[in-house]
Chains A and B, each alone.
Chain A
Amino acid sequence: MSKVIRCEDLYKSYPLGRDNEVVALTGINLSIEKGTLTLITGPSGSGKTTLLSIIGTLERPTKGRVIINDRTVNELSDAALARLRRDTMGFLFQDYNLIPRLPAWENVTYPLIPLGINSSERKKRALQLLEMLGLSHRYTHTPEQLSGGERQRLSLARALVNDPEILLLDEPTSNIDHKTAEKIMQLLRELRENGKSIIISSHDGHLLSEADQTFQLSGGRLVE
C-alpha cells in the first residue's frame, strides 16, 4: 500500500508572551497508508487536534515536514494549500464550525462553490448526502435549529461533499448517541473500502477496534 501521509520530525509551538511558548507537538514521525482508518488518540490537551490541523494543512508546523501524496506541503504557498484542501480533503471539526443562520443544505454546498459546480448540481449532491446521513427532513434548517448530533452529521456531510481522498475527523462520535455513532462508523467503513484514507482524532475507546492503526499522543509526543 502506498503512503498517503507522512509526518517527519514534526514540531509545533505557539508563542505565549514575549519569551514563553507552548509546545504542542514534539518530534512526531508517522505515516498513514491509503485506504486505512487511522486513530489518533490521547487525553485532552495531548495535541490531537493540532496534529490533525497540521496534517490537514490548516496550519503550518514550526519544524519538520508533512508529506501528502509525495508532496512536501510545508513548501507550498497558501493558495496551493487551499487547492490541496479543496481537491483532496474533507474536515469534520470538533465544534462543527458550521455557518450560522445558513440552511443545512447550503452549509454542505459551500466547499463546492470554488469548484465552479452549478447551483442545481450543488443542491443535488447536498441532498443526497443529507439523505444518506438521515438529515433530509432537516435540509432547510439552520445549524441553530439542529441538535448536537445533527450538527455533527451536517458537518460530516460537508466534509464528504467534495468526495475527498482524505477525511480528517475530530471527535466524530462525541455528542451523538450509540445508534447514530454506529451508523457513522458503518459509513466510514464503506468509505475506507472505497479507498478513502480516514484519520480520526478521538478519545473514544470504542473506535480502537475499528482502526487499522492507532497513534497515541501524550504531552505532544507519540507514545509507543
Chain B
Amino acid sequence: MKTMGILTVATANLLRHRLRTFVVVICLVVIITPFVSALALLEGIKKEAMISVQEGADLYVTMDMYGRNGMIPMEVADEIKKINGVLKAVPRVISRIYVEGRLCVLLGIPLDEIEETVKIIKGELPDDGEIVVGRALAKALGLEVGSNLSLGVRVTAIIDHSPFIMKRVYRVSGIFDTDTSIWSSDLILTGIDDAISIYEMEDFVSDIAVYVAPSRLQDVADTIQQMNAYFRIQSKSIAKQYVKRGFNRKGGIFVLLYTFAFILAIPVMLIVSGTGLTERKKEMAILKATGWQTDEVLQMAFFENTIIALISAPASVLISYIWLKLFNGAFIAQMFIAEIENIAPFRIPVQFTFGTFLMAIFFSLIFTLVGSIYSTWRTATTPPAEVLR
C-alpha cells in the first residue's frame, strides 16, 4: 500500500512538472534513438550474414597459407566432386576490385551456377567476356544492359615478365536485384574463367564451395583433408562462429564507445534534470518535514526515473523503427555498412529484438538516475529546515 502510494506521488510529480518531464524524455530519446538504431542494424546485418552462411555451401576448401586462406588449384574441384556424398563442388574467385573509384566485390563462378546465385531482373545471364551487376551498382555507375565496363586486369609482360595492369572492357549482359541482400549491392558477377584471367591466377581459384549430403559432412571433410594435408577446410558451423564472433565484437565495441558517449552526455543530463531543482528540493524537504524518510524520498525519485525510462525507451524504439524502416536508416546505416552513401541504395537489414528494447530501458534508466539521484540524495539527507529556509 505504501509503495503504491509512493508510486502515485511519483506519477503526480511527473504530471505536475510536465515541462521538465517532457524535456528529460526528449533528451533521452535523442540520446537513446541512435543507440537503438545501431543495435537494430547490427542485429539485422548479423541475421542476414547468418542466413547467407546458412544458405551457402557446407564446406569451403582453400589452401593453408601461413595459417590463412590461400588460393587453391581449380582442378581440385573435380577431384572433390568424385567423393561419395558430395553433391556439388563450385570453384570460386572472390576479390575486391576498384571500378571507377568505387570498391566492389568481384565474384567469379562457373556460368551455370550464376542463375542459382542471383535473380536477374533485366537482361540475361553472362557469357564469356560478359558480366552482370547489381541494380545499385548499375544505378551508381549509370550502367544499362549492353553497356561496357572497363576493369583493371593483371597482365605479365612477355618480354621482361614484369606485371602491369591493363584495362579490359566487359559487356554488361544483365542486372540483378540487390534489394534482397546487402552483400550483393556492390557485386560484379562473372564467369570463373574471366575472373581467373582478370587476376592472372592461371587455374587457381580463391576457394571451392562444397555442398554435401546431410549425413556425410564429416566423412567428406575427412576425405578432402586426406587428399592434401595443406587443405584448409571451413565448415558452415565455423563460418557461423566467425560471423557471430565478429558481430558480437563489433556490437561490444559499439556499446563501449556509446557508453563513453553517454558519460560525456551526463553533464547535459544533469543540467536538464536540474531544471526546476529548487522547487523539487523544497518539495522533498516538505515531504521529509511531514514524516517521509530518506529511503521513501529516494524510492519516489527512483519511480519517477523508471516511469521516464519506460516512456523514453519505447519512444526511442518507435522513432528508431520509423527511421530504419520508413527512411531506410538514412545517415546512420553508412556507419555500419561499408561503401554506402547517406541513403542506402538497397533495403537495409534491420532486426529489433527484445534485448534491444531492454537495453534501451536499461540505458534510459541509468541515464536519468545518474542525472538525478545525487541531487535527490543530497536533498533527502539535508535537514528539512535547512532546505526550507
Contacts and interface: CB of A to CB of B under 8 A. Distances in A.
Interface of A: 53, 56, 58-60, 78-79, 82-83, 85-87, 89, 91, 93, 97-102, 106, 110-119, 122, 158, 162
Interface stretch (B328-336, B355-363, B381-389): B381-389
Interface in B141-167: none
Nearest 4 pairs of A and B residues by beta carbon: A86-B291, A113-B5, A58-B385, A59-B385
B291 A111 contact: yes
B283 interface: yes
B291 A114 contact: yes
Range of interface residues on B (Cβ < 8 Å) = 20 to 34
Interface of B: 1-2, 4-6, 8-9, 12, 16, 279, 282-283, 285-296, 381, 383-386, 388
A100 B388 contact: no
A97 B291 contact: no
Contacts of B9: 110, 113
25 contacts: A56-B289, A58-B383, A58-B388, A59-B386, A60-B383, A78-B293, A79-B295, A82-B288, A82-B292, A85-B291, A86-B290, A87-B291, A93-B289, A97-B282, A97-B286, A97-B289, A97-B388, A99-B16, A100-B16, A111-B290, A113-B9, A114-B296, A115-B2, A116-B2, A118-B1
A85 B296 CA distance: 14
Contact of B289 (A85, A102, A115): A85
B17 to A, nearest CB: 8
A102 B16 contact: yes
Contacts of B279: 100
Given A79-B293, A85-B290, A87-B291, A101 B5 contact: no
A58 B385 CA distance: 5
Contact of A82 (B1, B5, B294): B294
Contacts of B5: 112-114, 116-117, 119, 122
B341 to A, nearest CB: 50
Nearest to B6: A113
Contacts of A85: 289-291
Which of A83, A110, A162 has the largest count of B CB atoms less than 10 A from its CB?
Answer: A110
Nearest to B4: A119
Contacts of A115: 2, 291
Which of A89, A111, A113, A122 has the largest count of B CB atoms less than 10 A from its CB?
Answer: A113
Contacts of A59: 383-386
Contact of A110 (B1, B2, B290, B381): B290
A93 B5 CA distance: 24
Nearest to B16: A101
Contacts of B285: 97
Given A79-B293, A79-B295, A86-B290, 8 more contacts: A58-B385, A89-B291, A97-B285, A97-B388, A110-B9, A113-B5, A119-B8, A158-B290
